[in-house]
Amino acid sequence: MTRFEQSFASLPDKVRIFLAIRVGDDVEAAIYRLIEELRAPNDGVAWARRDKLHVTLKFLGTAIDSARLAPLAEAVAEVSKAAAAFQVRTRGIGAFPNLRRPRVLWTGLESQLLIRLASQIEDAAAHLGFERAERPWAPHLTIARIRDPRRVRSLLGRLQEANQSEFGESRVGEIALYRSHLSSNGSTYERLATFPLSGSE
């Protein structure tokens, strides 16, 4: 039994799984200060908690057979061994589908190495039979989800003002595999494995 098989042996048969990175503490703090500035009582927005801020590299699925996790982890470990740590710049505010009719609010990340890493993860997962994403991956960090679009008019002007916000640079040195637990109080994330970026620069 491999170390990953041992690590995942106690998991239930089906799990909700994703791969992600975290930005640095200083950048997280700057993002959260903006969230606090934008937040308003009964604003119809579900703002992210600071401890849940992350950049999803690959969402694997809502009910993944846990027996598939060890081969996935081995593949991600191979990617991470070949990839070097790198810097990523976090700036700006955007929305899906757009800032006029926002459903998801995010801050952008600038790094060609991050885009390359996400592509390598996508390829490794696809090789193991995981579905490829329907759209090209765009580096972003989700800060909020709009629950009631009718109540966000006052927020739109503030979002435009915050569009050029600078949050700083972070060193990205690892990938993490997370399990997402859903409940009536929202989601919580459990880190299942960490993969250091240990390649040469």
Question: pLDDT tens across 145-156, in order?
Answer: 998 887 887 788
Would 8 be classed as within a structural domain?
no
- Predicted confidence at residue 201, as pLDDT, reads 66
Query: Residue 45 is encoded by which pair of tokens?
Result: 């927005």
Distant-in-sequence, close-in-space partners of 46: CB < 8 Å, separation ≥ 6: 144, 145, 146, 147, 186
Question: Would you say 34 and 142 are in contact if contact means Cβ atoms under 8 Å apart?
Answer: no
Would 17 be classed as within a structural domain?
yes
Q: Which of these, 88, 76, 95, 187, lies nearest to 145 by C-alpha position?
A: 95
Would 124 be classed as within a structural domain?
yes
Would 105 be classed as within a structural domain?
yes
Question: pLDDT tens across 62-87, in order?
Answer: 999 999 999 999 999 999 999 999 99
CATH of the domain at 70: 3.90.1140.10
Average pLDDT (35-57) is 92
Residue whose token pair is 């989601």: 187
Question: pLDDT tens across 83-132, in order?
Answer: 999 999 999 999 999 888 889 999 999 999 999 999 999 999 999 999 99
**Cα 121 from chain centroid (whole Å):** 13
Distant-in-sequence, close-in-space partners of 112: CB < 8 Å, separation ≥ 6: none
Domain that holds residue 125: 13-196
Instruction: Tell whether the model's pLDDT for residue 9 goes beyond 70.
Output: yes
pTM of the model as a whole: 0.94
Would 94 be classed as within a structural domain?
yes
Would 4 be classed as within a structural domain?
no
Would 201 be classed as within a structural domain?
no
Instruction: Tally the domains of the chain.
Output: 1
Would 7 be classed as within a structural domain?
no
